[in-house]
Amino acid sequence: MVDSVSLEVISNALLSIAEEAGETLVRAAYSSNIKERRDCSTAIFDSRGRLVALAQHIPVHFGSMLGLVQEVLRRYGPEDLHPGDMFIANDPYCGGGTHLPDITLASPVFADNRLVGFVANIGHHADRRSWATSIFEEGLRIPPIKLLSNYSIRQDVLDLVLTNYRVPHQRLGDLRAQIAANLLAEQRLLQLIRKYGYPLVTECMDGYLKYSARRMQAALQALPDGCWESQDQLDDDGVSDEPVVIRVRVMKSGGMLKFDFSGSSPQREGNINMVWNALVAMVYYCVKAFLDPELPQNAGVFDCIEIVAPPGTVVNALPPAAVDSRTETCQRVADVILEALGQARPERAVAMSHGTNTTINLSGIHPDTGEFYSYLETFGGGSGARSNKDGMDAVQVHATNSSNLPVECLELEYPILIERYELVPDSGGAGKYRGGLGLRRDLRILAPEVVLTGHGDRHKTAPRGLHGGRGGATSWLRVQRADGTIEILPSKPKRVVLRKGDLLSVVTPGGGGFGNPLERDRRLVLKDLTEGRITAACAATDYGLAREEVVEDQFAETYAKREVE
């Protein structure tokens, strides 16, 4: 067995390679989505296709990484793998991916004709966004095929790929960066082998997976044996009004942890379906977040995890289900898993968070330039309250952690004026510990015609609280037309036309509360009241604050008046 110092030093070196490749990818990338939002990941796999080391910024990428190399090995025998090969894939059903914009490149690495493992990376190619009801309409599907052979690009394959995108030169720039990152990772891995030798490095890959399994086992010790359930629903899938049920049963028995999603809704026509790899990523996210935030990100942790999800359900969709807005479902899957796990260890529990990935896309022709533009923004909301403290106000949770665009930059670029960007009072679920507040953004349309498409959820059901904590507030989306009429929009608006002078208001949900609100520290209730995070009415009814205790926010009246406007 490898000694613990060599294992730490070499696993650190493997992570270092993944990180260096990641920095190279970001640096050389062309599109701002990869360059500035760092929407990419890099990884190293062993010769059996098991993920060993991952440098990532987006939790859901973990699933695509797990799936890809397995898929390559399933399709290509040892005789088909050669030094200088590089595979490209993006398909959720046969390419290991979770949605089409994530393009993965993977290369086998050989030392003296022996397969050491694979290096791979994912880049999110934010080229197109279309609302569709089948995977065939969502974009180009790529199964694992060779983009490089003997270290040279296969021009025919590249042409096929580039032909399918709107901004091919950006795609080419990003793909080149991805290729460069893999080549660098290959070089570094070979250097590592020259320094420590093939046997020690491969032994350490295996050892690191075993270590991760041990660490996972150690984390599992903190859970009692038992079975815990949770169920929740999405408002709809954007096509029919029927709610989408997500159900999980978590079973811990000895050294095994089983997640059973039986009872979740059949897959839907709307594009909120998750494929298997996305589900695995969310299970992993929850296990790491709940049991051990420092858990290594590799395949070793799955030695003691079993996932059951009937094929053809919304959490394990089959082709041709559309998947583009899968993050809506991902967020809810995380909420229900965490709620179930929270029953096992209440001191680590978290109430439900805002549970959506509220996204709007405004596009049209810019009146000043005459050019087409497309403005995409995702919104945070309240995070769930915790066993010993409040939830966070207005943050991204679970599957995503993307930044907003600076107002001063987006107004410069798009015909939009942001009129308010603020926390929503009373939106955090009341509790001994309060849920985080949702946020509100008002956007005034300055162009003659703008098309709105987007997705969100929680218009109908609120994020639940825990142990007597109340639910967070629901969300809403509406447009106040220039003539003053108000239209309530659905959570998943499709091609809604907005016109000059219209005001679009986006409000995201708050997080659930934790514990009985009457037990909340009075000083915290008063602080929330003074700071306008709760209103006097809420302080009295939810928190039982006596009228004479109420010290109003001096500005509450001003802000309340505005609400009426």
Partner 1 sequence: MYRVGVDVGGTFTDICCIDDDTGELRIAKVPSTPLNQALGVCMGISRVIEQCGESSAVSVGYLAHGTTVATNAVLERRGATVGCVVTRGFRDLLEIGRQRRPHLYDLYADKPAPLVPRNLRVEVEERLLPSGEPLQRLDPEAVRSILKVLNSQAELQALAICLLYSFGNGEHERIVQRVAEEVLPGIFISSSHDVCPEIREFERLSTTCLNAYVGPVMNRYLRHLEKAVSQYVAAAPLLMQSNGGLITVDEACRYPVRTLFSGPAAGVVGARYFGQLAGFRSLITLDIGGTSADISFVQEGRIAESSEGEIEGWPVKVPMVNIHSIGAGGGSIAHVDPGGLLKVGPASAGASPGPACYGRGGVEPCVTDAQVVLGRLNPGYLVGGDLKLDYEAAVRAVGKIAETMKVDLTAAASGVISVTRSNLVRAMRRFLAARGLDPRDFALLAYGGAGPLHAAELAEELGISTVIIPPIPGVLCAFGLLVAGVRRDFVATSVVALNEGSLESIMGIYRDLEGQAIRWAQGQNVDVSRASILKQARMRYRGQGHELSVTLTGDLTSLGLRGVLEAFHREHKRCYGFDAPDETVEFVTAVVSLHADTLARPVVLVGRQKGCGPKERLTRTVFFDGGPLPCPIYRREELPPGEEIKEPAVVEQLDATVLVPPGWQAHVDRFLNLVLARR
Binding-residue total with partner 1 (CB under 8 A)? 84
**What Cα–Cα distance (Å) separates residue 163 from each residue in 124, 337, 407, 540?**
17, 41, 34, 62
Binding mask of the shown chain, residues 499 to 538, with x at each position contacting partner 1 by CB under 8 A:
-------------------------------xxxx-----
Task: Single out the residue of 164, 361, 404, 461 in contact with partner 1 (rule: CB under 8 A).
Answer: 404
**Stretch of 89-97, 110-118, 214-222, 323-331 contacting partner 1, by CB under 8 A:** 214-222
| Residue 206 touching partner 1 (CB under 8 A) | no
Distance (Å, whole) CA 565 – CA 561: 7
Q: Return d(Cα 356, Cα 248) in angstroms, integer.
A: 18
Widest distance between CA atoms in the chain:
81
* Alpha helix positions (H), 345-457: 407-413
Report the residue from 72, 392, 498, 506 that binds partner 1 according to the rule CB under 8 A: 392
Nearer to partner 1, 325 or 396 (CB): 396
Q: Which is nearer to partner 1, 420 or 478 (CB)?
A: 420
Q: Tell me: does residue 407 bind partner 1 (CB under 8 A).
A: yes
Three-state DSSP state, 384: coil
Distance CA 460, CA 293 (A): 32
- Residue 433 interacts with partner 1 (CB under 8 A)? no
* Binder among 132, 157, 418, 540 for partner 1 (CB under 8 A): 418
| Amino acid letter for position 95 | G
Q: Rounded distance, CA 513 to CA 534, Å?
A: 13
35 binds partner 1 (CB under 8 A): yes
Q: How far is the CB of 218 from partner 1 (least distance, A)?
A: 4
Phi, psi (rounded to 5 degrees) for 270: -65, 165
Which is closer to partner 1, CB of 51 or CB of 69? 51
Instruction: Show contacts with partner 1 in window 295-354 (CB under 8 A).
Output: 338, 348, 350
Position 406 contacts partner 1 (CB under 8 A): yes
C-alpha–C-alpha distance, residues 558 and 565, integer Å: 11
Separation of alpha carbons 49 and 28, rounded Å = 27
Q: Does 423 bind partner 1 (CB under 8 A)?
A: yes
φ, ψ (nearest 5 deg) of residue 540: -75, -50
Establish if 215 lies at the interface with partner 1 (CB under 8 A).
yes
50 binds partner 1 (CB under 8 A): no
Is residue 434 at the binding interface for partner 1, with CB under 8 A as the rule?
A: no
Contacts of 240 (CB under 8 A, 6+ apart): 268, 269, 270
**Tokens of residue 309, six digits:** 């999800």
> Can residue 180 be called a binding residue for partner 1 (CB under 8 A)?
yes
The region of 198-206, 272-280, 391-399, 484-492 touching partner 1 under the rule CB under 8 A is 391-399
Closest contact distance (angstroms) between CB of 94 and partner 1 is 29
18: burial class by Cβ within 10 Å (0-12, 13-18, 19+)? buried
Nearest to 284, CA basis, from 325, 333, 323: 333
Q: Which is nearer to partner 1, 72 or 287 (CB)?
A: 287
Residue (265 or 396) nearer to partner 1, CB: 396
Site map (CB under 8 A) of partner 1, residues 459-498, x = contact: ----------------------------------------
List own/partner pairs for 243-250 with CB under 8 A and 24 or more apart: 243/460, 243/461, 244/268, 244/272, 244/314, 244/329, 246/314, 246/315, 246/329, 246/332, 246/333, 246/336, 247/336, 248/333, 248/336, 248/337, 248/340, 249/340, 250/337, 250/340, 250/341, 250/344
Can you tell me whether residue 234 is helix, strand or coil?
strand
231 binds partner 1 per the rule CB under 8 A: no
Q: Smallest distance, Å, CB 73 to partner 1?
A: 27
Contact 334, 453 (CB under 8 A): no
Binding residue for partner 1, selected from 177, 344, 450, 496, defined by CB under 8 A = 177
In whole angstroms, the minimum distance from the beta carbon of 266 to partner 1 comes to: 31
> Contact with partner 1 (CB under 8 A): which of 87, 131, 290, 543?
290
Q: Is 41 a binder of partner 1 (CB under 8 A)?
A: no
Report the residue from 554, 561, 563, 565 that binds partner 1 according to the rule CB under 8 A.
Answer: 554
Q: Residue 59 or residue 95: which is nearer to partner 1 going by CB?
A: 59
Q: Which residue, 314 or 538, is less far from partner 1 as judged by CB?
A: 538
Based on the shown chain and the rule CB under 8 A, indicate whether residue 447 belongs to the binding site for partner 1. no
Full strand arrangement of the beta sheet holding 40-46: 51-56, 40-46, 114-124, 102-111, 86-89, 145-149, 152-153
- Candidate residues 36, 159, 519, 521; the one interacting with partner 1 per rule CB under 8 A: 36
